[in-house]
Chain A
Amino acid sequence: MEASTAAGASVIEARELVRRFGEREALRGVDFAASSGELVAVIGPNGAGKTTLLSILAGISKPDEGEVHVPEGGVGWVPQQAALYRRLTVEENLLLFARLEKHADPHGSVAEMLELTGLAERRGEVVARLSGGNQQRINIAIGLLARPSVLLLDEPSVGLDPRQRARLWEFVSALAETRDTTVIFSTHDIQEAERYGRRLLVLADGEALFDGATEGLREAVRREAPEAAESDFETAFVAFLHHRGH
C-alpha cells in the first residue's frame, strides 16, 4: 500500500484487519490510524470494505484477525441510514440516547446538541416529518452525544440534495476544526472525498491501496496512470484503480 499518513499521535488505530463473510474476504490485512482533528475519507467502489472497516472501528462487528485500539470513551458512530425513532420528536430522540449514555445532565446535553445542529427551533417536531438532511443532522448529533474524540460516519451524504449536503459538510468540517474531533467518513462520491477529506484511504476488494493526502493520490495517478493525470479527479481515481487491477 502507498502511504503518506499524517504525523502525530494516533487516537484510533487498526492493525492487520481481516474480516471474512463465508469464503469472501471483505478486509484483507488493512492497517489504519488517525490522529486528533483529522478528517479522513474512506473511498472505494461498492463492496470495497468501507462499511466493514468503519463497523469494526465502531465496535459493531469484530475482525476475524487483527486488532483495533480505540480512545477511552469509545467512538461516535453514525450509521449510513439514520438510526432514529421516527415517531419520537427531535428532543425525545436526543434525550433518550443522552439518558442511555448516562449523562449527568441529559437535558443540558440535548440543549447543546440542538444548538450545535441548529435544530433548537424544531426540537418538538416528530422526526418522520423532517427532511432527510435534518434527520441526518440528528443522526450525527446522537453520534456526538458521548462527546467522542473520534466520529465515524458511514456514507453520511447519501440521499441528500446538494444544499443539504453542503450544510452537512460545513457542520462536519467544523467539528474537526473547532472541536478537534477526528472524523472518519466513508463515501463512494470521489468529488466529495476530494473536497472535504483532508486525507484519503482508498479501499478496493478489501485491500488498502492508498492512504494519504489528496495531492498524494494525484501524484500516484501521475506516476502509475499518466494518461489520466490531467483528467478530473474521478477519472484519475478510476484509472488508478484500473492500474492496480481493480
Chain B
Amino acid sequence: MRWLLLKDLQVLRRSPLQAVLLVAYPILIAVLVGFAISRSPEKPRVALLNEIPSDARVTVGRSQLPKIGVDDRICARVECVHVDSRAEAEEEVRSGDVLAALILPADLVDRINSLSTPFPRTPAVRVIVNEEDPVKARLVDDRIEALLTRANLVIARRIATEGGRFLGLVLNGGDIQVLGQTIEILGLERTGRILAKLRPALPPGELRDSVGRMIRFTGLARDNLDSAAPLLTRLTQPIAVRKQSVSGSSPPLETFAIAVAATFTLAFVVVLLVAGSLALEREENAFPRLTRGLVSRSGLLAEKVALGVVAGLAVTLLMLAGLAVFVPLHWGRFGLWLLAILGGGAALGAVGAALGAAAREVRAVSLLAFMVTLPIAFLSLIPSGTLGPGLQDVVGVVTALFPFKPALDAMESALDPAGPGLGAALAHLAILVAAYGLLARFALRRFAAI
C-alpha cells in the first residue's frame, strides 16, 4: 500500500497547479468563512439625520426630562454616518455606502410630548433602506427594530423615573418647580399626621367622623401608592430573561469559527483528493491491472483514504498554525486535534472513496464532490431551532448521514477546553467510516464492470 501512496504523492507533486489549488482554495474558503462568522456586522454603517432641535426635551406633566442623548445612544449601536439632508441620506443608501438611513424628524419630541395631551400624535422616525437584496433588507429591519425598541425603553425608563419622583411627592410631600415658582406639596403622610393631630380637638359629631374617614383614606392611599412605585419601575421591562443552557456552554465565537474553517478545509481536501485519485485509477486504466492480484480492492480503498487523511492532516494543521497567529489556540490539546482530524478525515475519505467509485472520470467526480460537500457543509451550519420542526428534523438527518457535522463537532470539542468530550463525535464518525467504506467497496464492483 505504501508504494501506491508514494505513487499518488508523486502524481500530486507532478501536478503543481492541482496541488496548489487543492491546498489554496480550501484555505481561502476556510479563512473567509472563519472571518465571516467571527466578524459578523455588529456595527453596520447607518446614515443618521437628526433634525430634532437641540433644546427639545421630553416633558412629563409640567416638567422636562433631562437630555436623552439620542445621537450617542444610536451611534453606540451602529456606525453612524452623519448627514445634513434627506437627499444626502437617500444617496448614501442608494450608493450602498450605508446599510440604511435613520431620520429623526424635527417634530419627534413634540409628538412624544403630545402623548400626554388630549390631542396625541404618533411619534415616528423615518428609515430609508435599499431592499434589492432580501437578506440585507431583513438585516436592516432587525437592526432598526432593535434600535427603536431600545430607544422606547430608554424613554419609558425616564418617564418611569419621573413618575416615581412625582409619586414620592404625593406620598411624602416636598417642593416642585412650576413656571419658575416653588410650590410646596404637603403629601399624604404629612396630611394624615396633621389630620390625626386635629381630630382629637374636634367635638364629637359629623365633622370629627369625617376627619376620621380622611385619616383612614390617607393611610390606605399611602399603602397602595407605596406598592405602585416599584410597579411603575417594572413597567419599563416587565419580563426579565434568565438564560439556562441545556447543552453545555457554547464555545467562544472565535473557536467555533476556527472549527468551521478547519472542517471546511479538511472536508474539501480529503473528499476531493480521495475521490479524484480513485477516479484517476480508472482514467489511467490502471484499476484492472492493480486489482488483478497486486492490490486488493479493499486495500486500494484504504490507500486512497490514507492519502486523503495524510494530506488533510497536513493542510488542516498548517491552517490551524496560521490562524494561531491571530487567535490564541490551546496547543496543549494538540493530541485531541490530531484525533479529531484523523477521525473526521477517515470518514470524509470514506465518502470520497464512495464518490470516486461512483463516477467515471476525475472531472465528473470533482464536480460531484463539490455538489455533495458544499450544500451539506452549509446545512450543517444551520443553528438548531431556526427552522420549522419538520424541516429541522430533515436537515438533522441529512447532516447526520454525512461526516461534516460530526467532524465539526469533533473539531469544536478538540479546540474548546470547555466543550463536550470527543467520544460521541468520534463514535459517530466511526459508524460513518464503516458505512461509507462498505458503500465504496460495493461501488467498486460497478467501477470494475464499466
Contact = CB atoms under 8 A, between A and B. Distances in A.
Interface of A: 55, 58-60, 74, 77, 79, 81-88, 92, 96-97, 99-101, 126, 142
A111 to B, nearest CB: 18
A85 B293 contact: no
Contact of A60 (B4, B11, B15, B292): B292
Given A99-B3, A100-B3, A79 B10 contact: no
A83 B289 contact: yes
B295 interface: yes
Contacts of B230: none
A144 to B, nearest CB: 13
A82 B285 CA distance: 7
Nearest to B280: A85
Given A88-B10, A100-B295, A126-B14, A83 B286 contact: yes
A86 B284 contact: yes
Contact of B293 (A74, A82, A92, A142): A74
A57 B299 CA distance: 24
Interface string B257-294: 00000000000000000000000000011101110111
B7 interface: yes
A31 to B, nearest CB: 23
Contacts of A87: 10-11, 14-15
A100 B294 contact: yes
B10 A81 contact: no
A84 B284 contact: yes
Interface of B: 3-4, 7, 10-11, 14-15, 284-286, 288-290, 292-295, 448
Nearest to B3: A99
B286 A84 contact: yes
B7 A85 contact: yes
A101 B292 CA distance: 11
8 contacts: A59-B293, A60-B288, A83-B288, A83-B289, A84-B284, A85-B286, A87-B10, A100-B294
Given A97-B294, A126-B14, A88 B289 contact: no
Given A60-B288, A85-B7, A101 B14 contact: no
Nearest to B14: A87
Nearest to A142: B289
Contacts of A55: 288
Contacts of A96: 3-4, 7
Contacts of B289: 77, 79, 83, 97, 142
Nearest to A95: B3
B285 A83 contact: yes
Contacts of A84: 284-286
Q: Looking at B7, B10, B11, B290, which has the most chain A CB atoms within 10 Å of its CB?
A: B7
